[in-house]
Chains A and B, each alone.
Chain A
Amino acid sequence: MVMHKNKHNETIKAEAKNLNFFYADGTQALKGVTLPIYENKITALIGPSGCGKSTFLRSFNRMHDLYPGNKYEGEIILYPDNTNILSKKVDPIEVRMRISMVFQKPNPFPKSIFENVAYGLRVRGESNKRVLDDKVEEALKGASLWNEVKDRLEDLAFNLSGGQQQRLCIARALATDPEIMLFDEPTSALDPIATMNIEELMSELKKKLSILIVTHNMQQAARISDYTAYMYLGELVEHDDTNKIFTNPSKKETEDYITGKFG
């Protein structure tokens, strides 16, 4: 099998190729975006509000398919199997089984902590109590929430704090062993301590999977990501090593945005 690598010999996990996206009302939110996602790396998407970051992220798990009239053009290829996950022939549910997502606002189900984490496994037909117990524990540990909740797994998830709820949502997304995890501004509703927890968590998680994260927080992108992509008005302006983007961007627009002259 051909491995897709870059100059640093890093493997490409997924790649958007010339991606256009149209909302039902005709708004073109993405214009010819081409962007690779590297395995075991964190790729951060930055750009001013309304530039299409969420739209791009949500294409990766076909979230737009939930609403009639939305239209994709172009491809997102998932490696190593070379599947175009935007193809009409590929079931969006299959895509969501491989690529999980954490949302901006913590959105636990009004169910117990345990059931929240176990839900992805139940959806996959797992009903063996022992297996569920093990996987839930593993996922909660992976989301560094286990110690805080191990004695109250049957409590309603709503009783957790905002930061705990977000880590619970990470555990839920993690329990199903995804290949890629998508994060849409996962810390924008959290305080600095909870934010730091989640940033540390992501650095831990990337050892096992690939991460694509949207963030409004430039320091956050600089702190945690390996690659950064700057988007503007639905187009990808620049994509490079995070270091390069923040110290020596090749485009003027990127520099203006990063230095706060614009946006």
Chain B
Amino acid sequence: MVKNKKQPAVIKDLESIRAMIRRHKRNDLIFAAVGMFVIASLTITLLVLFLDLILDGYPRFTLDFFTNYPSRKPEIAGILSAWVGSSLVLLVTFFVAVPLGIAAGVYLEEYAKKNWTSDIIEINVSNLAGVPSIIYGLLALGLFVYAFGLGQSILSAGLTLALLMLPIVIVSTREAIRAIPIHIREAAYAVGATKWQVVYDHVIQYSYGGILTGVIIGMARAIGETAPIITIGALTFIAFLPPTPVTVDPPFLNFEWLSSGFTVLPIQMFNWISRPQHAFHINAAATGAIIIILTALMNGAAIKLRYNIRKKIKW
């Protein structure tokens, strides 16, 4: 009897606990639903835009489109000079931004004394990442094009995009370095390594995955940049290719292409959109789809890379 009397109390208690759990779970459900809705609407918008581009540009996905120069006749116009230009500009960007960005990141993390100078640099670097790209264009116009006399060249454009990419590389380098646990660092110092040996044999080796991810994301951003390139005066209609960087004759490398005029994919696209004829809009759509595909491929590579390296180095 005593037992029976106690039981209801226990059961009631349990009931209220269950009710509470149900209430809490309802919050989970609401949050998940809202999140799903937001993500779905974003993804769907993006997908619709992308599909629209593909459907519009579909007639121009031919080999000719990649091997033809732009032309007054939309049916035979192509993006040869634009994709070659984009590739060469990105080549310059890569070789400038990557070594400089990694060196700056390593210096800031490993060598710089923590004082007000490093604080100012710190704030500046984070700010740089948020500066609108047209500002970089203006800076580059004054600095590279006129002050350094580099002209409206591939070199100027590459350097401009390198400025844009630099903060991304610096920030990702620093983050990758910070992820290295302190006890690994101490282990290296404890056997008698100098600072440079620690940086070269350990810090860079263990952080290159993160750095590479930053580099790819930075490149993916640079490939679509239009404003700064227009500002420094990229040409919009180019029916020639820059001199080839690699030659059959010694010394095999040729740097004349650096000073050549050029155009890039987004500018070619912009140019075609601003034409009145509808046929050019098809070309623009095709170019847009190609830029999106390139960006997606690069970001995909970055994710895959990060995944692979995370699997190998776990602290």
Contact = CB atoms under 8 A, between A and B. Distances in A.
Interface of A: 61, 63, 66, 68, 93, 96-97, 100-101, 103, 105, 107-110, 119-120, 122-124, 156, 158, 169, 172-173, 176
A174 to B, nearest CB: 11
20 contacts: A63-B189, A66-B186, A68-B113, A93-B192, A93-B193, A96-B190, A100-B191, A103-B186, A107-B187, A108-B187, A110-B313, A119-B188, A119-B193, A119-B201, A120-B191, A123-B194, A123-B197, A169-B187, A172-B187, A172-B191
B190 A100 contact: yes
Contacts of B12: none
A105 B201 contact: no
Interface string B187-207: 111111110010001100010
Contacts of A63: 186, 189-190
Given A107-B186, A158-B314, A97 B206 contact: no
Contacts of A103: 183, 186-187, 190
A147 to B, nearest CB: 24
Interface size class of B (residues with CB under 8 A): 20 to 34
B3 interface: no
Nearest to B315: A110
A173 B190 contact: yes
A119 to B, nearest CB: 6
Contact of A176 (B184, B187, B192, B313): B192
A107 B185 CA distance: 9
A109 B190 contact: no
Contact of B190 (A61, A122, A156, A158): A61
Given A108-B187, A176-B192, 8 more contacts: A66-B185, A68-B113, A96-B191, A105-B183, A109-B188, A109-B202, A119-B188, A120-B192
Nearest to A119: B191
B114 interface: yes
Contacts of B314: 158
Interface string B272-315: 00000000000000000000000000000000000000001110
